[in-house]
Amino acid sequence: MGNNYAPLVGDSYAPERLRVIIPVGGKATRLLPLTAETSKACLRLLNRPLVEFSLLTLARQGIRHFIFGVKGYTNYRDLYDYFESGYGFSVRYDIKPRIHIKYQPNVEDLGSADSARINMEYYDIDNPVFAVQGDNIFEINIKDLMQFHREKGALMTIVLREVQNVEGLGIADIDKDNRIRR
């Protein structure tokens, strides 16, 4: 399995070198009946799939390589029918050079982290990877995040957001050095 991306030169943390893996394999049972025939990442907001907001935020900052960690026919169908290889998305938003979208091979995964592992192995990725959930909408400065990551000498950086209502969410225990303890 060779690297399916053109060779890139320069800083491995530069946006054009980053690969973004977007796991979109959940069944979204809490959102039934909305997700009976549509994947959660493709639910419409302002007549656009949720995942489009994430792609646009990242593409406007120079990221060009995305992999959808799809699991299940509905997820694959919805995403591929709308995005295909990314060309139409690039034209619609005047993203130059265009983005490239690939899809997880038809391999059963054990969840989001396993999806990332499968895709990194399948597409022979050894550069830094940015992973974002397909149903998240966010604004983030990628260059600042990568700078923070490098300054900390971290193996992994997890971006969290403080919320008032934590019901149904995991709660991170963060120490004085901003490291997640559990």
Which pLDDT band holds residue 118 (cuts at 50, 70, 90)? very high
Which tokens in the block code for residue 148?
């923070």
Q: What is the mean pLDDT of the chain?
A: 85
Residues 6+ apart with CB under 8 A from 93: 56, 59, 60
Which pLDDT tens digit goes with each residue over 15-67?
888 899 999 877 677 777 877 777 888 888 899 999 999 999 999 999 999 99
Which tokens in the block code for residue 122?
């399948």
Percent of the chain predicted with pLDDT > 70: 91
Note the pLDDT of residue 10: 59
Structure pTM?
0.84
Q: Please return the burial class of 37, using the count of CB atoms within 10 Å of its CB with bins 0-12, 13-18 and 19+.
A: exposed
> Are 97 and 64 within 8 A, CB to CB?
yes
Domain positions in the chain are: 19-139
Pick the CATH number of 19-139 from 3.40.1170.60, 3.50.50.60, 3.90.550.10, 3.30.70.100: 3.90.550.10
φ/ψ of residue 135, rounded to 5:
-105, 15
